Amino acid sequence: MKRLGLILLTTVGLASVANAQSLPSVKGEADQPKSCFSDFYTYMTSTIKDCPLSYAGVTLFGNIDGGYGYESHATPMGYSADKVNYAIQRNSGRGAWQWSPNASSTSTLGVTIEEKIVDKWLFIGVAETGFNPYSLNLINGPQSLAYNNFNKSANQRTQFDSSRAGQWDNGQGFFGISNADYGTLTFGRTNTLAQSAIGKYDPVASVAFSQLGFSAAYAGFGAGTTVRSNTAFTYRIVYQGVRFGAQAQVGGYELGNASTGQYQFLIGTDFGNLSLDAIGGWANNAVSLASYAGGALPAGYDPYSILRATVHNNAGFALMAEYKWDQFKFYAGYVFAQTSNPSNTNYPGGLPTVISSELFVPPGAVTSNAYNLPRDQNTVWTGLKYAAMKNLELSAGVYWQSQNDYLQGPAVCTGSGINTSSGKCSGGRYSYSFMVDWKPVPRIDVYAGVMVSNVYGGVASGFQYSQNIDPTVGVRFRF
């Protein structure tokens, strides 16, 4: 917490330096508008838009989110993980109170660039990283898996298969050009179109209180590692009120991507108070990573630098809607995701450069036939937000996902719940949640919420428990 305080003090200091030129001069000082950096209270009561940390076209931005909560079936936070098990997970254990970072949103630090080239043309860029505000470690999902190689479920810390792998730009890092008439074209490490859009249509958009926000697999159409591409061209344009988007990844594993190719398309529009978006996409030879979880480790490798992997093809689409009425916003969405065997089924040399250059998937640790029968997942959600006051918002949501029985015969599914015979049996997840968000000043959110998350059928197979409840309170500071 002391280091976190130093970051906050440093940020405010940078703000003063970056905006020194905007301070009023001695001459005619009484006639000059008051600078938003004139004192701490004025800064805190200003908005990010009205008082950015900008200099010469470069803007520093950040988000620090910390909280405390209870999980009815908890797991200690992993050393490289960004969160605790807000939703029920396979390694969730007994109940516990614990520090709960990034409950409302992921803590980030980054810069944006916007420079005029000529006429309406702009050069733009973004570089951002996500971190744990308590440990100050950069988020590294694959490493959190590797740290559990020796630990069976009862002794594991939180672990998440993630596209954030400890990179300095584990969020995004891209550049491009933009024109109000001709659209925006960017290249680099970029969120997929689905990842960027789903949060807008999530009624309880948060990490701790939303099934969609807790897991990136929904936006990844079955694989959370593919919600960002290191080398993606992305084009967006609005023409006569219609939004269009297209995205194509170039290069594969050798460039740190979690697939050998990924493509997405978007179309959307607004009809008065109704917003609609539709997204479709697919990824070839996508990689899902896993810990050895106390199993037999291959000899000759650093046990904290190796992982197991499953390779598959992903395809899917999302349909989403938002409607505004008076103080209410209503939401609904549907995602279909199909996971099938990969286009390439031969990996004799393992996967040496998937996502992180510091982690290795050795020969024999790659599974490429997990989906002889495709897995179909259907996810639906709905909910609402209510602006009770100008600075107080209440939100509630219900989320449900189901999967088919893709267990190949002659095996058959037996049992139920956590005793279901196979994770390939039909089953799913469902949750319901509530959140209250109060802004005492524009830069501070004080929030509280709870999500009740459940697994059943094949999805629950091998879990220790089938439900988790996570009442959590927290504070978020944005600059």
Nearest residue to 279 (alpha-carbon basis) of 213, 227, 339: 227
Q: Measured between alpha carbons, how far is residue 393 from residues 22, 273, 439 in Å?
A: 34, 19, 9
**What tokens does 419 get?**
């005793």
pLDDT digits (tens, 9 = 90+) for 84-115: 999 999 999 999 999 999 999 999 999 999 99
The set of long-range contacts for 45-53, using a CB threshold of 8 Å and a minimum separation of 24, is 45/441, 45/442, 45/443, 46/442, 46/443, 47/442, 47/443, 48/442, 48/443, 48/478, 48/479, 51/19, 53/11, 53/14, 53/15, 53/18, 53/19, 53/479
How far is Cα 293 from Cα 169, in angstroms, rounded to an integer?
A: 28
Q: Which domains are delineated in the chain?
A: 1-50 (no CATH), 56-377 (2.40.160)
How far is Cα 139 from Cα 242, in angstroms, rounded to an integer?
A: 36
Is the Cα dihedral 39, 42, 45, 46 positive or negative?
A: negative
How far is Cα 457 from Cα 172, in angstroms, rounded to an integer?
A: 36
User: What one-character-per-residue DSSP string does 416-432 give?
Assistant: -GGG-S-TTSSEEEEEE
DSSP 165: B
- Answer yes or no: is pLDDT of 246 > 50: yes
pLDDT digits (tens, 9 = 90+) for 322-332: 999 999 999 99
| Whole-structure pTM value | 0.90
CB 140 within 8 A of CB 166: yes
How far is Cα 458 from Cα 33, in angstroms, rounded to an integer?
A: 63
- Give the Cα-Cα-Cα angle 40, 42, 44 (nearest 5 degrees): 70
Please report the pLDDT score of residue 349 as a whole number: 75
pLDDT digits (tens, 9 = 90+) for 278-315: 999 999 999 999 999 988 898 888 889 999 999 999 99
